[in-house]
């Protein structure tokens, strides 16, 4: 008998019967969107959970990114990483901004040593990604931004619930963006948010995500429709009750993989960054040159056995046709990003993943 397919992730869903009372409330009060009661409650609850001052909810993380750039009036060139999901750079193109790709380092994040060489008179901001929820070198990035008068917007789509010694990771930068997509640690089916440091910028973001409407007769900017609806917000409220246990289960999955994979020749597992709390959003292995198969051959082998791993993030964003030629002439060397993108494989990780499934996956990798 063939094994059941295993995908790179599976959304964590609360018990359906617990969601029904939320839906009943929505059906009764007939407020479906445009900043209803669940929207309000969820913003407050999220601020508390993440330990941040202000949050603006969005229909998804991409609209949050696009709007964050508008909110800070970013133009010209923005320095970013080629090693991310395409949405990071797409948000720049949608704003008519030129992405300038800079190499990553062993943390999978933008290499701060390489940023300064990519700065030109047109540079207005840095858009780093906390890739896999591993934190960027926040201090050094901020120092560079301060020296050159640049804004910093973090794409923290992978970093929900991650904490460093000072608190939630999303408190850093001028703005920080979260995604609550179905494939994320915390999901509202689709969803996203901008974490902002002060009420004034939050007000501007709230206008921008609602067509720029300030009141019935006033439109202050060419805004977009980026709003999160009431069903998403209600789902978020319920999901918050379960997210800690979901992260604990992910932690167990991570630990079992590490244990089972240790000693498999040619496979290395990145060392966990030093954090107060990690979210175990991804489990990645590096397929090294002494492994008997290429990374892609291992990917195919797993697929043939019903295990759908993913090559996040291959190809590099800079290799897609619409981004060719966008690297900085002086900082165009993306050697490390190229190397990593050819070695990484993200294995299935989600709260419901059974230990037996994990052992089967490791057996396949180990060649048994």
Binding site residues, ligand T4K, CB under 6 A: 7-11, 60-62, 84-85, 87-88, 129, 155, 157-158, 179, 181-183, 192, 308, 310, 312
Tokens encoding 149: 């008068």
The Cα 252–Cα 355 span in angstroms is 9
At a CB cut-off of 8 Å and minimum separation 6, what does 215 contact?
Answer: none
Q: Which is nearer to ligand T4K, 291 or 350 (CB)?
A: 350
Please give the residue whose beta carbon sits closest to ligand T4K in the complex. Answer: 61
Q: Which is nearer to ligand T4K, 87 or 97 (CB)?
A: 87
The Cα 32–Cα 54 span in angstroms is 23
Q: Residue 124: helix, strand or coil by DSSP? A: strand
Q: Name the minimum Å distance from CB 156 to ligand T4K.
A: 8
At a CB cut-off of 8 Å and minimum separation 6, what does 45 contact?
Answer: 236, 237, 240
The Cα 114–Cα 133 span in angstroms is 21
Q: Which is nearer to ligand T4K, 79 or 291 (CB)?
A: 79
Tokens encoding 207: 């206008």
Strands 267-268 and 218-219: unpaired
Q: Name the minimum Å distance from CB 137 to ligand T4K.
A: 17
Tokens encoding 31: 């407020």
The Cα 39–Cα 331 span in angstroms is 43
Q: Which is nearer to ligand T4K, 25 or 308 (CB)?
A: 308
Q: Name the minimum Å distance from CB 56 to ligand T4K.
A: 14
Q: Name the minimum Å distance from CB 233 to ligand T4K.
A: 15
CB contact at 8 A, 89 and 80: yes
Q: Which is nearer to ligand T4K, 25 or 311 (CB)?
A: 311
Q: Name the minimum Å distance from CB 64 to ligand T4K.
A: 8
Q: Which is nearer to ligand T4K, 38 or 58 (CB)?
A: 58
Q: Shortest CA distance to 26 belongs to which of 231, 239, 235, 241?
A: 231
Q: Name the minimum Å distance from CB 262 to ligand T4K.
A: 27
The Cα 86–Cα 108 span in angstroms is 15
Q: Name the minimum Å distance from CB 348 to ligand T4K.
A: 9
Q: Which is nearer to ligand T4K, 291 or 317 (CB)?
A: 317
Q: Which is nearer to ligand T4K, 159 or 365 (CB)?
A: 159
Q: Name the minimum Å distance from CB 85 to ligand T4K.
A: 3
The Cα 350–Cα 6 span in angstroms is 10
CB contact at 8 A, 171 and 152: no
């Amino acid at each position: 008998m063939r094994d059941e397919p295993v995908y790179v992730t599976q959304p964590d869903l609360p018990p359906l019967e617990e969601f029904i009372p939320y839906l009943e409330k929505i059906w009764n009060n007939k407020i479906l969107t445009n900043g209803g009661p669940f929207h309000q409650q969820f913003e407050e609850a999220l601020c508390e959970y993440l330990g941040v001052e202000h949050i603006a909810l969005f229909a998804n993380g991409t609209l949050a990114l696009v709007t964050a750039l508008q909110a800070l009036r970013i133009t010209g060139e923005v320095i970013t990483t080629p090693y991310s999901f395409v949405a990071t750079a797409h948000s720049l193109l949608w704003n008519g901004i030129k992405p300038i790709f800079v190499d990553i380092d062993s943390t999978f994040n933008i290499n701060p040593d390489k940023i300064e060489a990519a700065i030109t008179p047109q540079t207005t901001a840095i858009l780093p990604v906390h890739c896999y929820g591993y934190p960027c070198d926040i201090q050094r990035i901020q120092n560079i931004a301060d020296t050159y008068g640049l804004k910093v917007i973090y794409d923290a789509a992978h970093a929900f619930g991650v904490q460093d010694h000072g608190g939630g990771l999303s408190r850093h930068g001028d703005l920080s963006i979260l995604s609550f997509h179905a494939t994320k640690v915390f999901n509202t089916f689709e969803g996203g948010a901008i974490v902002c440091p002060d009420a004034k910028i939050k007000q501007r973001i709230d206008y921008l995500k609602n067509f720029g409407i300030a009141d019935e007769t006033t439109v202050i900017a060419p805004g977009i429709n980026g709003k999160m609806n009431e069903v998403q917000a209600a789902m978020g409220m319920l999901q918050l009750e379960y997210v800690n246990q979901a992260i604990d289960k992910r932690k167990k999955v991570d630990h079992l993989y590490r244990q089972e994979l240790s000693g498999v020749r040619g496979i290395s597992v990145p060392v966990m960054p030093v954090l107060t709390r990690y979210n175990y959003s991804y489990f990645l292995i590096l397929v090294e040159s002494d492994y008997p198969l290429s990374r892609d051959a291992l990917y195919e082998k797993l697929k043939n056995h019903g295990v759908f791993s993913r090559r996040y993030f291959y190809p590099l964003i800079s290799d897609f046709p619409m981004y060719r030629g966008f690297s900085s002439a002086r900082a165009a060397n993306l050697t490390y990003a190229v190397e990593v993108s050819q070695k990484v494989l993200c294995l299935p990780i989600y709260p419901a993943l059974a230990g037996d499934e994990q052992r089967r996956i490791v057996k396949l990798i180990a060649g048994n």
